[in-house]
Chain A
Amino acid sequence: MILLQSPSRYLLQILSTRVRNLEKGVELDCQWIEFDDVRYHIQASMKNPNLLVLSVSLPTPPPETVFFGGLPPEAIEAIKAAYGTVVHILDPPKDGFNLTVKLNLSKLPPDEEHRQELLGKIASIREVVQGAPLKSVLKQLVSRTVKSELNKLISLVHRPNESFFVVPQADKVTVVFPMRFKDSVDSILATSFLQEFVDARRTAGLGNAPHCLWSPSPPQELKGAPAEALLANAGFVSFVISPRHVEGRKLDRTVWSLSTFHAYVSYHVKCSEGFMHTRMRRRVESLIEALDRAKPDWKKVKKAVQTRSFKRLSINDGRATSNSRN
């Protein structure tokens, strides 16, 4: 899996199973956590198998980002627009969560295709809620109308205590990510990956992708930003989003890709480190084999391994054998 998927697989599985076994509705009480500190809690009782209570907790916003009423701006409108009568927002949310909703499965569309689509959309609740302010800014790009102030720096939270920045303009939206990594090795690997974004964009076939830049120091778009936001050990990535990147179905995909950009890079940095570890271990094994060949009883050890088919000799066994000769 190269790209991060928007519907939470676990949530989708719970919902699909519930819908398929509505008559056999069992008690349900699950909590789990996903990347970037997003927590979920789902509850259902046998009394009313059609009703589920879902709570979502979002990463803590940094000081420069404001959550009105505990949710990102325009999140409530986004939920109503995406889900209609199937989802009902409960106020106040469950203790420790930003949002609690009641899901009414009896209100799902009757035909299988639309039903599955809506379940997938519910499982993407993270994208709907967290991505609401970004979606609102990008929508203006499609309609070519600008509600928000032009060139104003908007900060949106994407990770605990960290935000990325959006600058809306009449014909484009610039999105800037300060890239930070706790581990210095991670930050050097990430820097190498991020520079590939700039190079990849220049290759043939990707000319229509958003223009992207990487710089070790804050770009001029961040001129009004608070000081803590201007420190990033893996530099700053900027994407320039044009109207063609947000038309039709591309809008939701663009919102998800940008909201989870940092997570995407971190995920691949970790995969890379895992792969390197496997390589290094294989190299060590081949070098130890080479060392074993230097031992005069190597052929004897090899023969012994072949005859005693169930006993595996280790390096220590080999050494013990040679010491006992002295």
Chain B
Amino acid sequence: MDDFNICIMIFRTSPELLLNPVLICRNEAEKCLIETSINSLRISLKVKQADELENILTKKFLRFLSMRAEAFQVLRRKPVQGYDISFLITNYHCEEMQKQKLIDFIVQFMEDIDKEISELKLSVNTRGRLVATEFLKQFI
């Protein structure tokens, strides 16, 4: 980013260049905020966390991803206030990468978050069941 071409989403210097944000809600616990400007786009997600276990698994996984934000290029290190994870796509990203493939990537990312958290939860429950069964079997 040079002096004449700053990311409008982050440095909100000219409010007239910001467009109306869109909020998509599945319910109070799951929502997606899309904020647009003329040269950048920020997508923030709030992921469902039904119980304490899902809560820590989500935090663990999203923190793992956010720490690798540089490798992901379009990911932010810190999410927007009130959300669990945020993406920032600038015009430079669109020049470097094919727009359709970039959209595919974001969608795959969002689906993978859900998939990974359910699979992590399943692995904890499966291991818990095995650990309990092996322990109790000793007494029979």
Contact = CB atoms under 8 A, between A and B. Distances in A.
Interface of A: 2-3, 184-185, 188-189, 191-193, 195-197, 199-201, 203, 206, 208-210, 212, 241, 245, 250, 253-254, 257, 261, 264-265, 268, 271-272, 275-276, 279-280, 283-284, 286-288, 290-291, 293-296, 315, 322, 326
Contacts of A197: 132, 135-136
| Chain B facing A: main interface SS | helix
Given A206-B136, A268-B131, A294 B104 contact: yes
A199 B136 contact: no
Most buried by B among A294, A295, A322: A294
Contacts of B56: 184-185, 188-189
Interface string B109-140: 10010001001100111011111111111111
Contact of B140 (A206, A264, A296): A206
A199 B132 CA distance: 9
16 contacts: A2-B134, A188-B56, A191-B52, A201-B136, A203-B133, A209-B140, A253-B138, A279-B119, A279-B123, A280-B61, A280-B64, A288-B71, A291-B72, A293-B104, A295-B96, A295-B97
A326 to B, nearest CB: 8
Contacts, number: 133
Interface size class of B (residues with CB under 8 A): 35 or more
A290 B120 contact: no
Given A290-B104, A295-B97, A279 B120 contact: yes
A170 to B, nearest CB: 20
B130 A294 contact: no
B131 A188 contact: no
Interface string B55-78: 111001100110010011110000
A80 B60 CA distance: 51
Nearest to A207: B140
Nearest to A296: B98
A203 B52 CA distance: 25
Given A192-B124, A276-B123, A200 B96 contact: no
A251 B71 CA distance: 56
A322 B130 CA distance: 49
Contact of B138 (A257, A284, A296, A322): A257
A200 B133 contact: yes
A200 B132 contact: yes
B32 interface: no
A293 B64 contact: no
Contact of A287 (B72, B98, B138): B72
A119 B59 CA distance: 48
Contacts of A250: 139
Contacts of A3: 134-135, 138
Contacts of A280: 60-61, 64, 116, 120
Contacts of B116: 279-280, 283
